[in-house]
Amino acid sequence: MNASPTTGNRRFPRSVRRAVNSGHVVFAVGLLGVEWVMLLIGIVARSTDDPALRHGAYQLMRIFALAGGIPFAVLSLITGVLLCLYTPWGLWQHLWIKVKIVLLVAVIVTGAAVVSQFAHRLIAASASDGNADALPPLQTWHLVVVIFQLVALIVSTALSVFKPSGDRGRGRPRARRRAENAPRDRSTASDPTGEVAGARESVGVGRSTPGLRSSAPVRNPVA
């Protein structure tokens, strides 16, 4: 299935494309920032000896996951898919786009199904009347999942920048592309070896040779 718009007429106007692209960058960078903050909060909550600080950190982490992580991830996925469908890149044309989509879906699934549940259980275990023995393994697995999400988003950002195996010709300036695609002289377009030009020079076609007189006889004027 090829969902590339290059075979159809689905294209964003320039202003809309820039707006969607800007939104995609904002949501993707925001999601990366949220994951980094959640990692720092998890490290602080695991290393502190203050039960009140630990409990408050996990409550704050749950707010970040529900109010920041999940909305930013969903909006980043939606804007990314729109950019693929309504720009020449296409949705399934390049491997790096497929990898980006898979990584972002993995971040959304782990955030909604794992991190939010871990945060809820960590809040309950870190409470004054919670089960303190269940806290260390929950902290470890929670940090593992958050690190996975952070690495996935870093890889996704790197793919967006480098675009491996992508058609880099689409990124060239428009004037340069026009110059490269401009039709050449018909007489030399099918002669890559330059034989036609050499033959022209040998017979003197298309140029004037100074100092060369014509060999035709010159009639004398009649007196």
Confidence of residue 27 (pLDDT cuts 50, 70, 90): very high
The SS3 call for residue 199 is helix
The residue with tokens 């949501």 is: 27
Grade residue 197 by pLDDT with cuts at 50, 70 and 90. Answer: very low
21-160: CATH topology: Four Helix Bundle (Hemerythrin (Met), subunit A) (1.20.120)
The gap between the terminal CA atoms of the chain, to the nearest Å, is 90
pTM score: 0.65
Alpha-carbon separation of residue 90 from 83, 161, 217 (angstroms): 8, 17, 72
Q: Which two tokens stand for residue 16?
A: 């809309």
pLDDT tens digits, one per residue of 206-221:
444 444 444 455 455 4
pLDDT by residue (tens digit) across 141-179? 889 999 999 999 999 889 888 877 654 444 444 445 555
